[in-house]
Amino acid sequence: MWTVMPSPIGDLRIVERDGSIVAIEFSPFKQSADGRPLGARSDDEPVLAETVRQLTAYFGRELTDFDLPLAPVGTEFQKRVWEQLEKIAYGETASYGEVAGRLGMTNAASRAVGLANGRNPIPIVVPCHRVIGANGTLTGYAGGLERKQQLLELEQDALF
């Protein structure tokens, strides 16, 4: 099942399967990558409604930590990277090399971390926007660099 919510960075489509969030997609929405149907739209499904509530609070600068059942689909390595992303605190950033180091890998693994980061199916909640280049620059973001900048600014503004 899925629902769509408005947000300051454009409409977001939230997808759930078996009671867990599997995707948050930026508009314009695409067909599902695996070709499977998303199911019916259900704005009242409890986990979808709770995700909308928490995202609304996040965008309203009232929530800094999400508490949602997540079931991202990916390789074991991707899941390890995504678990590290969840440990980057609200308003903080980390470089790809730092994330690699937290995984017990060398800086040479930065590229692999970047690829896994870019495949994160649950952006915002799994905060891939908090990963930046080693020199502090914004690097690629599936939702576009403008959205990444907006998310980082939202978090920074909320802290001060």
Catalytic positions are 128
3-state secondary structure of 73: coil
Cβ distance 16 to 45 under 8 Å? Answer: yes
**Which run of H or E residues covers position 111?**
helix 110-118
* CA–CA distances in Å: residue 144 to residues 6, 18, 68, 96, 99: 17, 29, 24, 17, 21
Residue partners of 113: CB distance under 8 A and separation at least 6: 81, 96, 97, 99, 100, 103, 105, 131
Amino acid, single-letter form, for residue 73: V
